[in-house]
């Protein structure tokens, strides 16, 4: 089977392609390389450089590839930047999805679309663990843009028969076991790579807040290894291919367990064998004390349960990547 991967040169997209090719699937990536890296692509992956907003290009690629499933990973994902430049986020994250849906509607209306979403659609959760149908009150343009995209896919499924599935990630982390690819963002805001970089001589680490209502006062988050995310996407496509036209559903991907910022730091200290210097800063506005997902729906509906998301494995694969590629790609 052939997979068309939109945003395939990014962090999660590139790991998905590695996993899919290792499982025997053929992959074709489309990416504008504004955030992704050509070097992150698997050597056996075909590549088209182009933009998600280019309708004619998308239609041509779909006709040329004739994919068995389409995967969307091509989103901007910096919460702070989305507040300062919401236009960029709504144009790419919402209009880009609509453009893809239009291309699929015209050229491959029965081809499944697996969409990468986020727990940011919830904002501050009303209860824990977070379930798929809990109230959604996103507090950033990023979160709102992803929720709008979910609605778009559902509406296109209802009106035009598109088959879609949204997968809401919690905290994606870790790296490929070979250390060939890993996390290398233009502006790194994620805790694990920033802690590791500080141990390798990077800038001093700041933990935002130590007064949250959690056991150690720092934020608690649900961390899932990027390999587990990749596996879940393949399972989603395999299921979606067999569904009738107009099918749409949402699943959340995490472990159901949270780790605090301080626990992350202590685990990295243990693995590297030296202390991590850090200071506490003010909590970021709107930062929830804890976020972790219920896992029952993904277990029952996708047959998915995280297998590679022990904190030790996450940290060790991330460290191996950063040690092998201190400057990224």
Task: Tell me the catalytic residues.
Answer: 142
Residue 133 to residues 98, 122, 127, 141: CA-CA distances in angstroms?
Answer: 23, 10, 12, 20
Structural tokens at position 40 = 């992150």
Residue 253 to residues 55, 100, 295, 307: CA-CA distances in angstroms?
Answer: 30, 23, 7, 12
CA neighbor of 4 nearest in space, from 116, 105, 113, 161: 113
d(C-alpha 265, C-alpha 298), whole Å: 29
Instruction: State the DSSP string of 18-85.
Output: HHHHHTT-EEEEEE--SSS-GGGS-TT-EEEE--TT-HHHHHHHHHHH--SEEEE------HHHHHH-
3-state SS assignment for residue 321: helix
Q: Work out the angle at residue 39's Cα, subtended by the Cα atoms of residues 195 and 98, and round it to the nearest 5 degrees.
A: 90
Q: CA-CA-CA-CA torsion for 317, 319, 323, 326, nearest 10 degrees?
A: 110
Q: CA-CA-CA-CA torsion for 169, 112, 38, 315, nearest 10 degrees?
A: 30
Q: What is the DSSP letter of 265?
A: H
Q: What is the DSSP letter of 114?
A: E
Helices and strands (DSSP H and E) totals, the chain: 11, 14
d(C-alpha 315, C-alpha 302), whole Å: 26
């Amino acid at each position: 089977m052939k997979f068309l991967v939109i945003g395939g040169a990014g962090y999660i997209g590139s790991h998905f392609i590695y996993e899919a090719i290792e499982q025997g699937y053929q992959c074709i990536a489309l990416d504008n390389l504004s955030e992704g890296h050509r070097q992150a692509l698997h050597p056996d992956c075909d590549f088209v450089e182009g933009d998600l907003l280019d309708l004619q290009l998308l239609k041509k690629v779909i006709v040329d590839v004739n994919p068995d499933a389409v995967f969307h990973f091509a989103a901007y994902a910096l919460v702070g930047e989305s507040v300062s430049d919401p236009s960029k986020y709504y144009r790419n994250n919402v209009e880009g999805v609509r453009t893809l849906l239009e291309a699929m509607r015209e050229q491959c209306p029965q081809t499944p679309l697996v969409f990468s979403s986020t727990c940011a659609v919830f904002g501050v959760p009303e209860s824990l663990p977070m379930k798929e149908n809990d109230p959604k009150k996103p507090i950033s343009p990023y979160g709102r843009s992803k929720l709008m995209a979910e609605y778009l896919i559902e509406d296109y499924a209802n009106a035009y028969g598109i088959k879609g599935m949204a997968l809401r990630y919690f905290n994606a982390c870790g790296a490929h076991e070979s250390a060939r690819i890993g996390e290398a963002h233009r502006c790194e805001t994620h805790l694990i790579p920033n802690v590791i970089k500080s141990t390798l001589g990077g800038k001093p680490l700041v933990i935002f807040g130590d007064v949250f209502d959690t056991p150690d006062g720092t934020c608690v988050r649900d961390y899932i290894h990027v390999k587990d995310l990749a596996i879940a996407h393949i399972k989603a496509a395999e299921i979606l291919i067999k569904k009738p036209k107009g099918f749409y559903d949402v699943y959340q991907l995490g472990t159901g367990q949270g780790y605090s910022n301080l626990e992350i730091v202590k685990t990295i200290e243990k693995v590297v064998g030296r202390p991590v210097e850090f200071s506490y800063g003010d909590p970021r506005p709107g930062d929830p004390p804890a976020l972790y997902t219920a896992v029952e729906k993904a277990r029952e509906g996708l047959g998915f349960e995280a297998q590679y998301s022990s904190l030790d494995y996450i940290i060790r694969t991330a460290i191996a990547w950063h040690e092998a590629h201190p400057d990224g790609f």
